[in-house]
Amino acid sequence: MTALDPRALRNAFGTFMTGVTVVTSQDASGVPLGFTANSFTSVSLDPPLVLVCLAKTSGNYAALVNASGFGVNVLSEGQSDISNTFARPSDDRFTAVTWRKGPVGSPVLDDVSAWFDCSLRQTVDAGDHVILIGEVGGFDSTTTPGLGYVRGTYVTPSTEAEMLRNAAGLVVSALIVRDGTVLLVDSGAGGVGLPECAVTKDGASAAVRRLIAATGVPADPGFVYSVFEDTERGRQHISFLCQAAEGEPQRGAFVPLKPGVLDDVTDPAILTMLERLARESELGQFGIYYGNQNSGEVRPVEQGR
């Protein structure tokens, strides 16, 4: 379990605030309960608070509003079956999953991208829903990409990139970050840049995994952070934001995401992207850039559906 360090908690909020979650708790008899939720939202860092919304028609309504706390499990990209299990009526959903009790007492599912175990701080009436506000008593996050759900279909963070797998001149880069630093490598042009390579017939996901493997640092592709047309070079560029685990890189070095330190980045478009990442990391709120190397728009990653 990760200690309640404010920076680590803020990073976890920013990275995992979207996607499919399973909210868990237990009834007065200690029987575990849970349901699939669209999302959850951070409320405060000091104290660390999150909220989830619960329909008053839910069969879990009475148990949850009277529970001592609740957990939020951010499902990983291979856990669509768990999402389906907790979205359908069932006498005992927990027989189909492996889980343990978190430090506050709520069920924590195995192999999720992240989890937050909370004590119930407050309930707020909100029309046909109730808002449950919890204080985070324990959490953990991994580099495993999360599971998304868009327009009736499950998606993984690489789905959008895979739609471009046959595009001519497609290049991917890996924004490998860890604790406020980013991995930069020799750009071959007298400076530094991101690890990047051309996409071949096996697709963008395979390409970014090859980039990560070449660095020697354990990491998984996260979400697509930037998609732009490099008109000067006649190519499409897509960058994945990847959370790295501990370990020294075999190629390149981690440098702080700070002004001045990034001056050796040779590609102006990559430098602009890194400067945006530095700002967004401080806020814990991320967006996805669409455009070209000169101009475009940043679409916020929504924190609730």
Question: Considering Cα of 102, then 107, then 109, then 114, what sign does the dihedral take?
Answer: negative
Crossing angle for the helix pair 6-16 and 268-283, nearest 10 degrees? 120
Report the mean per-residue pLDDT for the chain: 81
Q: Say what the pTM is.
A: 0.57
pLDDT band at 298 (very low <50, low <70, confident <90, very high): low
Where b means 16+ CB within 10 Å and e means fewer, 111-124 reads: ebbbbbbbebbeee
Closest CA to 24 of 33, 11, 15: 33
pLDDT higher than threshold 70 for residue 163:
no
CA dist 40 and 305 (Å) reads 9
Give the tens place of pLDDT for each residue, 134-162: 999 999 887 777 777 654 556 665 555 55
Contact (CB, 8 A) for 169 and 154: no
pLDDT digits (tens, 9 = 90+) for 185-206: 998 777 899 999 888 877 777 8
| Helix, strand, coil share of the chain (percent; to 5) | 20, 40, 40
pLDDT greater than 60 at residue 14? no
Cα–Cα distance for residue pair 291/289, rounded to 1 Å: 7
Phi and psi of 268, rounded to 5°?
-60, -35
Res 122 pLDDT > 90: yes
The pLDDT of 195-224, averaged and rounded, is 84
pLDDT of amino acid 16: 45
Could you give the angle at the alpha carbon of 164 between the alpha carbons of 193 and 235, nearest 5°? 45
Q: Tell me which CATH code domain 157-300 carries.
A: 3.90.79.10
Q: What pLDDT digit, counting tens, does each position of 20-36 carry?
A: 899 999 998 999 999 98
Range of lowest pLDDT (75-79, 112-116, 174-178): 75-79
| Residues 6 or more apart whose Cβ sits within 8 Å of residue 244 | 143, 176, 177, 178, 183, 217, 218, 219, 254
Please confirm whether the linkage preceding 47 is cis (ω < 30° from 0).
yes
pLDDT at position 58 is: 86
Residue range(s) of every CATH 2.30.110.10 domain in the chain: 6-150
Higher per-residue confidence, 168 vs 87: 87
Distance (Å) of CA 54 to CA 10, 61, 105, 134, 252: 24, 7, 20, 13, 47
pLDDT at 15: 47
Neighbours of 241 (CB within 10 A): 23
The CATH number fitting domain 6-150, selected from 2.60.120.620, 3.90.550.10, 2.30.110.10, 1.10.287.1080: 2.30.110.10
